[in-house]
């Protein structure tokens, strides 16, 4: 199998952490790519040209990090990251708060790369408040253990520090910061940190 990723993509990083947690690195080749260059092999796997994309051994492909991480969790030999029991919906809701942070942070980054006169102050403000709202939900109810919500939260926080650093953020979400610090040294997290 082949996983197309770009180093900075938080969505791709979730998949890269999950495949390490499940010991799948010997079955899945990680292929670094630049989506904006529109490489033909990425377009063939992902019609919309986005990472992550996972090409299976039979040639079929899966796109979108939520689908790919659930697939890797299904075939992997490690502890399950998507719980099936009573806690499933609480975990998925936490994961969705993290997903919202990623979506709004990536949108903010893309907006910031536009020429200044073309940026939308309205959307930048809405996304800033949206990010803080979703972080506030995670601050009130941080992930428990290292499940798919924890992976999302670690990735979202690292992406914020990487692309949208804010020295005041740590003071606004102290509990979340302390929670994240517990996972900094985990191999799957350390090996995939964006540079």
Ligand X SMILES: N[C@@H](CCC(=O)N[C@@H](CS)C(=O)NCC(=O)O)C(=O)O
Among 3, 5, 11, 19, binds ligand X (CB under 6 A): 11
The residue (of 39 and 49) whose beta carbon lies closer to ligand X is: 49
Closest separation between CB of residue 40 and ligand X, Å? 14
CA dist., res. 33 & res. 1, Å (int): 16
Q: C-beta of 52: minimal distance to ligand X in Å?
A: 6
Residue 51 sits in the site that holds ligand X (CB under 6 A): yes
The window from 16-24, 58-66, 126-134, 161-169 that contacts ligand X (CB under 6 A) reads 58-66
Q: Longest C-alpha distance within the chain, in Å? A: 51
How many residues at the interface with ligand X, by CB under 6 A? 12
Which of the residues 63 through 102 are near ligand X (CB under 6 A)?
A: 64-66
CB of 54 to ligand X, least distance (A): 10
The interface region with ligand X, picked from 61-69, 70-78, 79-87, 128-136 by CB under 6 A, is 61-69
Cα separation, 11 vs 69, in Å, equals 10
Peptide bond into 52 cis (omega under 30): yes
Give the distance, in angstroms, between the CA of residue 182 and the centroid of all CA atoms in the same chain: 18
Burial class (CB in 10 A: 0-12, 13-18, 19+), 131: buried
Based on CB atoms, which residue is closest to ligand X, 177 or 194? 194
CA distances, 178 to each of 1, 36, 126, 140, 162 (Å):
36, 36, 27, 13, 18
| Separation of alpha carbons 54 and 65, rounded Å | 9
Residues 101-160 that bind ligand X (CB under 6 A): 106
Minimum CB separation of residue 49 from ligand X in Å reads 5
Least Cβ distance, residue 36 to ligand X (angstroms): 6
């Amino acid at each position: 199998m082949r996983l197309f990723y770009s180093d900075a993509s938080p969505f791709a990083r979730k998949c890269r952490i999950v495949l390490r947690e499940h010991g799948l690195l010997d079955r899945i080749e990680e292929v670094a790519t630049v989506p904006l260059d529109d490489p033909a092999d990425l377009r063939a796997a992902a019609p919309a040209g986005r990472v992550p994309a996972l090409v299976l051994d039979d040639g079929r492909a899966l796109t979108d990090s939520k689908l790919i991480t659930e697939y890797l969790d299904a075939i992997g030999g490690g502890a399950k990251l998507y719980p099936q029991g009573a806690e499933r919906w609480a975990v998925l809701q936490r994961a969705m708060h993290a997903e919202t942070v990623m979506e709004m942070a990536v949108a903010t980054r893309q907006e910031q790369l536009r020429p200044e006169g073309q940026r939308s102050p309205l959307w930048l403000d809405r996304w800033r408040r949206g990010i803080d709202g979703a972080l506030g939900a995670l601050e009130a109810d941080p992930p428990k253990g290292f499940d798919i919500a924890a992976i999302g939260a670690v990735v979202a926080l690292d992406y914020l520090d990487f692309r949208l650093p804010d020295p005041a953020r740590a003071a606004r979400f102290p509990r979340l910061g302390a929670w994240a610090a517990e996972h900094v040294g985990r191999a799957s997290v350390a090996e995939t940190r964006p540079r």
